Chains A and B, each alone.
Chain A
Amino acid sequence: MINIEKRTLSNGLRVVVHVDKSTPLAAVNVLYNVGSKNENPNKTGFAHLFEHLMFGGSKNIPSYDAPLQMVGGDNNAWTSCDITNYYLTLPATNLETGFWLESDRMLELDFSEQSLEVQRKVVIEEFKQRYLNQPYGDIPLLLSPLAYKVHPYMWPTIGKDIAHIENATLDDVKSFFYSHYAPNNAVLSVSGNVDPAKVFQLAEKWFGPIPHRQLEEHQIQAEPKQTEKRQLEVERNVPADMIHKVFHIGARMDDDFYAVDLLSDILSNGPSARMNQSLVKEQQLFSEVNAYISGDHHPGLFTVTGRILPGVGMEKAEKAIQVELDRMTSKVVNDYELQKVKNKIESSLVFSEISFLNKAMNLASFELLGKAENINSEVDKYQAVSAQDILNSAQKTFTANNSSTLYYRSSK
């Protein structure tokens, strides 16, 4: 059971605190409710570019990193299609430095042409390094637009085109900041060796004066139900064929999230999972297989993927995957197998609670999606899933007209 105390400031900032006295450190996590799904289709990759700019100095503090490093702290950030998450850890005695730094960049960034110029280049190199210059790197760029035709999940977080990043202007940056970065669009979570009363006092002191901001009202169009089987085939200079199949599923907060998650675990979580045993070990068709869900805030994707061994061929590999999916849609899992994946979930949750930083990130995310306290009912929600629920989810998910398949062929 994770202890939680929380409060909302008058400007709308939600503050969540978790005390863990086993560490001498503290974590400060600021989650902004903005990701690539909030981008303009002609200015994609912006949320992520913006994450880089958040380290280029703020209104009153020219450098973000140096003052934090000076007090023994470290930090990083990541952007997804739904959120942008900034986190730092430092010795708990120096907690206030974290509040000073994070509040100043929420108050106002130092919008500088120089910083934009440099980070544009850095992000373009990141684009190349991660997506273009390594084998299989462009798969997200191919799959997202195949599965989504309307919803902004159709472009990956890095953006759909390098040109969008090259063309970003300082005005774009400013307007993005004021329409998304606001206390009323963020969650602050603090964990570690801290005193909640002191945390609330620091939050009031540093974040309290930041004005509530009018957020951009931007209606995101829902993805219409897919009604036809989709397929895409590419050939690349890579050593092995790969197959990716994706299916539309529900959103993170939908009731059947837990059943769908367990469905993916039955297929591939752990060496004894069905796909690992059947496709890798017994039939020796793949060197590696995987099944996972995206867990996105809006309706997301169920991915089934595998790297195919030489001489097998795409068609045979796909058929073998299909057999496993058909097993899931035609027969309920037995009690033993269901208990196994539930046990695995339970121990994974215990392991994830070892890190105070993990807890801060998870708490912020749960608070954004509903309430932080929900973190403590996760195990029960997984335990409540029945074999019939999993069968229902499989039947709903694994239909041909709900699938998009990418054949990634090796030209070697």
Chain B
Amino acid sequence: MNINRTTAPEFKNIDSFELLPIETYELNNGIKVHLMQAGSQEVAKLDFLFPAGSVQASQPLLASITNKALSEGTVSMSGAEISEKIDFYGAFIGQQASFHHSVVTLVALTHFLPETLKILEDIIKNPVFEQKEIDTLLNKRKQEYLIESDKVKTLATRAFTQNLYGKEHPYGNYLTMDDFEKLTREDVINFHKQAYIPSGTHIIISGQPGSNIKELLNTHFGQHWSDEQPLKDPQPQNKEDVLRNIFVEKNDALQSSIKIGIPLFSKEHPDFHGMQILNAVLGGFFGSRLMTKIREEKGLTYGISSFIMTYKFGGFLVIGSDVKAENRELAVKEIFNEIKKLRDERIGNEELALVRNFLLGDMIRNFDGPFATSDNYRGLIDESLSPAYFNEFFDVLTSITAEELQNLAQKYFQETDFITVIAGK
């Protein structure tokens, strides 16, 4: 058989996007449940989002240590007993504090949900927060913090967010060794009492949780268990003294870490979807301009990328790369060249089609199945957005023009607005 290997086979464009149906209802006490029922395995994942993020917490480490310490002992079970039982059922409990919520995740085989949810109820409502357990968590966290502080990448990232949001607001990611000494058991107990409450709490369920899941959840979490209302989550103050150039010295570093970025806005901004696409062109995927130029043509780095970070209040775009010290100036110059090109020249048809098609495929991948869908959906709740956000992005993605992208670049990619942070030698 003679085949033509030089021409690509025919392909179909992705022309529709369907989000898995999301059923929403409330438990008897008003907790909001979001259910994505799908999948061929008898497995379910439940994310509990409490209004207990680092923004609600009044001091550093409070949200994350409270969240992690939940499973370290309750009035009826020791931490060892809890983990023993969860492991025996082959289940996993995940705990993570984000900015506006703290999350407790349960992943379990469907037929073990009754047993594991009962344990989860105890963890969430009746933790004892023994001093010893808090100390263990703080010691571990302190060591991780010190190890992270040895990485140029981390140093650059911290300098970048502190510069934008200051030392007071959690978005700034400012933490000192003193904070580890300041946190008391009293703080943890109080924060738990004020923030792990029915009001403002969401449960996201994905997979196949079984037909009786609503009853199960009402049994364990549907009663009235607290009168508290969610703590305030204040916006960061507008910072007057944002620096344009920052250098963080680390003499023993083999490579320098570069972060170049601009303050942007939250996902609600009308230009947000367009900026996501512009970001992809610049550095948002392997075929992006920065990756092509700085890695594939020049070999200056193992990796370079840009991404947009958003919060409930605000956001930023940042480009990041690690390069050897003597290539630093060159890399920075090339990055600004690529930014300038986006302002000065319209993106060609072929490139726009490629970015569009790649991002469409990426959307299908990001929403493939209930677990992937729920991961993306969870991010929306932290920023108080509705799922229509995804469909709007799809519409902008399929229709945006090269002219619109150039307008966005001219509006937001002004060289004087960029902040350059370098950590290293």
Q: Which among A20, A74, A336 has the highest number of chain B CB atoms within 10 Å?
A: A74
Quick one: given A24-B364, A60-B5, A100-B9, are A125 and B301 in contact (CB under 8 Å)? yes
Task: Give the residues in chain B near A67, CB-CB below 8 Å.
Answer: 8
- Contact B146 A281, beta carbon cutoff 8 Å: no
A-B contact pairs, 6 of them (CB 8 A): A71-B361, A122-B302, A129-B303, A134-B151, A271-B87, A344-B90
B364 touching A72 by the CB < 8 A rule?
Answer: yes
Q: Which residues of chain B have a CB within 8 Å of any CB of chain A?
A: 1, 3, 5-6, 8-12, 14, 38-43, 71, 79-80, 83-84, 86-91, 107-109, 136, 139-140, 143-144, 146-147, 149-152, 252-255, 285-287, 295-303, 322-324, 353-355, 357-358, 360-362, 364-365, 368-369, 371
**Complex Cα gap A296–B244 (Å):** 50
- CA separation between A362 and B366, bound complex, in Å? 21
Bound CA–CA A284/B143 (angstroms): 13
Interface of B is mostly: mixed
User: How far is A276 from B136 in the complex, measured between Cα atoms in Å?
Assistant: 12
Interface string of A358-401 (1 = CB under 8 A from B): 00000000000000000000000000000000000000000000
Q: Is the CB of A23 within 8 A of B300?
A: no
Interface size on A, residues (CB 8 A): 81
Asked whether A354 lies within 8 Å of B360 as measured between CB atoms, the reply is no
**Provided the pairs A72-B360, A93-B12, A240-B146 are in contact, do residues A347 and B91 lie with their beta carbons within 8 angstroms?**
yes
Q: Is A126 an interface residue (CB 8 A)?
A: yes
Structural contact, B322 and A272, CB atoms closer than 8 A: no
Q: How far is the CA of A126 from the CA of B255 in the complex (A)?
A: 11
Are A121 and B300 touching (Cβ within 8 A)? yes
**Given known A-B contacts A280-B136, A353-B41, A209 and B9 have beta carbons under 8 A apart:** no
Question: Of the candidates B9, B109, B355, B361, which one forms a contact with A73 in the assembled complex, judged by CB atoms under 8 Å apart?
Answer: B361
Given contacts A72-B14, A135-B150, A240-B147, contact A125 B302 (CB under 8 A): yes
**Complex: A132 Cα to B151 Cα, angstroms:** 11
A90 within 8 A of B: yes
Known A-B contacts A128-B254, A350-B41; A118 and B83 likewise in contact (beta carbons under 8 Å): no
CB-contacts of A105-142 with B (<8 A):
107, 117-123, 125-126, 128-130, 132-136
By beta carbon, the residue of chain A nearest B152 is A133
- Asked if A409 is at the interface (CB within 8 A of a chain B CB), the reply is no
- Inter-chain CA distance A126–B295, complex, in Å, is 11
The answer on a CB contact under 8 Å between A122 and B361 is no
Whether the Cβ atoms of A347 and B365 lie closer than 8 Å is no
Q: Which residues of B contact A239 (CB under 8 A)?
A: 143, 146-147, 149-150
Q: Is A89 an interface position by the 8 A CB rule?
A: yes
Determine whether the beta carbon of A118 is less than 8 Å from that of B90: no
Residues on B with beta carbons closer than 8 Å to the beta carbon of A197: none
